[in-house]
Structure 1
């Protein structure tokens, strides 16, 4: 009788996980989630059968489509409340190595620092900053060169509850994005967003608010288009309604919907405008299941010589099964259609669209509050637009990971 040889295949795959798993199960009882300072460590393995999102019918780079990678990460996590002031700091460093596309190997960085402040019973807010360095996705960018994306954010916000039913909030955030490749530096930008919000707080803990938001985008590098250097700077104004409504004990809604107007002179003299926003619903009946669903409609910029922006319409559904106190299983499906607006009319400019479908399944085991082991699979598929050069592709991937806080 044939017996599959499992152990020789499993051993090489699990060997890097063994030291971490041995260490995390040896963590003393005193290293619990209530401690302020934790040392974080993790290791992950992944495989993707179309890592660089090569369109169907193309041979790939050097005849290769798939690749596997290992990621090791470590860092510090600090979270402590001093009276009414909470300080949270996360600092992680990682190293990712690919088996075949070794030129993509990179060192990742993830830093977050937040001060959640409160003065008296009516004033509260948050001040913080983040820094992240990761490999940029290849969904809309065809290359086998490494393209690291560095993002920085600084933000501050404050809320004043001047009445038992009313609250006013204001905030400012600056996001800066830089890309490693010279061919992608035209995507470098800084976005400054200012918000002002007035909320009505009902006795039922439901909230209705009016949000006014202004975003200014600045691109340091002009693009050469039809022999002329053009700036992609833009101004965007939004007026939206925010609703947080717990309809029943098991059903809740979270919505931010309203009017958006975007002015980007280098693309068109006309302003992009219309309804935009997102609505999310959560249903958690008694038992072990939680369901969620979302729909959205958003305008987004696109750096291209052919089109000026995309109108993204999407929907998602998901479910979480709490199989046991220590095991959770999540399933999600996402669909998004992107409609493009042409810079100038040309043959086929009236039918510029593509769509992306993503489905994923993940199981997470937490033998202790500070330990997690997870495994997941995902499928992504895009229907491309040949005129825009976005070919159709399919991708299947899997990941295994283990992490712990000491």
Structure 2
């Protein structure tokens, strides 16, 4: 029998997150997609976990799936507040040359991908309330394989405060992107959509301590049946306690109880999640910060114990402003996910990255990034993937030049390589991209 779900509540919460700014005469935002032609000079270090908003004394992190980590662009939208209020319009145009566009081992196809994007961002502080809405729409065209598709990404957050003791965040986030590294056999462009909606409140017990509670809904959709966590929909309740001293650092301990199901999958089993996590945000100095997450995840499937798994997950990220012209982002993450293609088993992922940035002038930035992931198919049965182990290596070099205050040109070279215990999944790819961006 299907378990009761709190998804209707989360749907209402997500709708409120998107509609509330409109009620206050704000507008949704569209921005260019990270992707085609995106310069590696964009801020690095977002592949482990991208905060959907500033902490507002409620420490909160929303992990990205490993599907977005390897060979994927940096998040094209962000609900993190910055110094500029009001509207910000963006338009991008780009071209990318990829010598193995389908990520296959043999019979590689070189293709030219062009893309156009439009965006609009709005940010406004009203008394103690902070509203940010950032969204984008993009169109991609593949010259040789004849594939066209559109993407929609958005990130919206309301950081609210009621009185002197109650505060929190209401947010909605969607990332849609090309996922061509998941399946090296099927000659097609896989697309993936990841959504996360969150409501969390903190009640101050004193100057630094808070009691935390909230609701969360997350979902994934992929055209690849072997993708990380398949097509999943899950609703969760979160409770915990947080500590945030005047230094700007924070610590939180939470328990999350979730129930979910796999959509459009031959696996009919529902599942329950129990997760205990600790998160830390350490403001080492004005130029250096550390974000860490350590958790234990236990997922149980109704009537399908061969799919159950549990273990330690987490991440560690460092952002260091070394000098006025140089900075460094580095991190590590471990994840566990469901595997739905066989009759049992699960996936695990260990990945790390390092990304130095050099700004020789105020108008030019140069970024070098290296990322490595090891992915394992653990306890898999009923599939040729049993015992499989893949290693991904991605290196990127990018340059960005602010030609005018509102016009930016970018160039990127990226090399990808996958080495698998099943040689049919091995591939190499080289990508060169150019982009132009207008910001008003």
Same fold, judged at TM 0.5 (above): yes
Structure-2 residue corresponding to 1:237 = 274
Runs of 4+ in 1 over 6 A off after TM superposition: 181-184, 345-348
Question: Does the 8 Å contact 2:183/2:226 carry over to 1?
Answer: no
Structure-1 residue corresponding to 2:407 = 371
Bigger Rg, which one: 1
Question: Does the 8 Å contact 2:372/2:393 carry over to 1?
Answer: yes
Question: Does the 8 Å contact 2:156/2:171 carry over to 1?
Answer: yes
Structure-1 residue corresponding to 2:107 = 59
Alignment counterpart, residue 180 of structure 2, candidates 132, 137, 144: 137
What is the rounded CA distance, in whole Å, between the counterparts of 2:208 and 2:429 in structure 1? Answer: 50
Alignment counterpart, residue 356 of structure 1, candidates 381, 386, 392: 392
Change over 3 Å in CA distance of 1:332–1:193 after alignment to 2: farther
Question: Does the 8 Å contact 2:97/2:432 carry over to 1?
Answer: yes
Question: Does the 8 Å contact 1:234/1:263 carry over to 2?
Answer: yes
What is the rounded CA distance, in whole Å, between the counterparts of 1:322 and 1:157 in structure 2? Answer: 38
339-348 vs 171-180, which moves further: 339-348
**Higher RCO structure, 1 or 2 (CA under 8 Å, sep 6+):** 2
User: Displacement of 1:243 after TM fit?
Assistant: 1.7
Tell me the TM-score normalised to structure 2 length.
0.72
Alignment counterpart, residue 211 of structure 2, candidates 162, 168, 178: 168
Aligned length: 357
Alignment counterpart, residue 245 of structure 2, candidates 194, 197, 202: 202
What is the rounded CA distance, in whole Å, between the counterparts of 1:113 and 1:251 in structure 2? Answer: 26
Give CA deviations for 1:255-310 in whole Å, capped at 9, x if unaligned.
11132212135653474222221112233333422123212222122222165211
Give the 3-state SS of the residue equivalent to 2:361 in structure 1.
coil
Structure-2 residue corresponding to 1:260 = 297
Question: Does the 8 Å contact 2:342/2:382 carry over to 1?
Answer: no
RMSD: 3.0
What is the rounded CA distance, in whole Å, between the counterparts of 1:277 and 1:254 in structure 2? Answer: 11
Question: Does the 8 Å contact 2:226/2:340 carry over to 1?
Answer: no
User: Displacement of 1:151 after TM fit?
Assistant: 4.3
Change over 3 Å in CA distance of 1:208–1:109 after alignment to 2: closer
What is the rounded CA distance, in whole Å, between the counterparts of 1:74 and 1:140 in structure 2? Answer: 30
Question: Does the 8 Å contact 1:44/1:401 carry over to 2?
Answer: yes
User: Displacement of 1:40 after TM fit?
Assistant: 2.1
Give CA deviations for 1:168-195 in whole Å, capped at 9, x if unaligned.
23232222333458999x9332122332
Change over 3 Å in CA distance of 1:211–1:181 after alignment to 2: closer
User: Displacement of 1:148 after TM fit?
Assistant: 4.0
Bigger share in strand: 1
Where in structure 2 are there 5+ consecutive unaligned residues?
1-82
Change over 3 Å in CA distance of 1:214–1:323 after alignment to 2: farther
Give the 3-state SS of the residue equivalent to 1:343 in structure 2.
strand
Question: Does the 8 Å contact 1:267/1:343 carry over to 2?
Answer: no
Change over 3 Å in CA distance of 1:282–1:86 after alignment to 2: closer
What is the rounded CA distance, in whole Å, between the counterparts of 2:116 and 2:187 in structure 1? Answer: 22
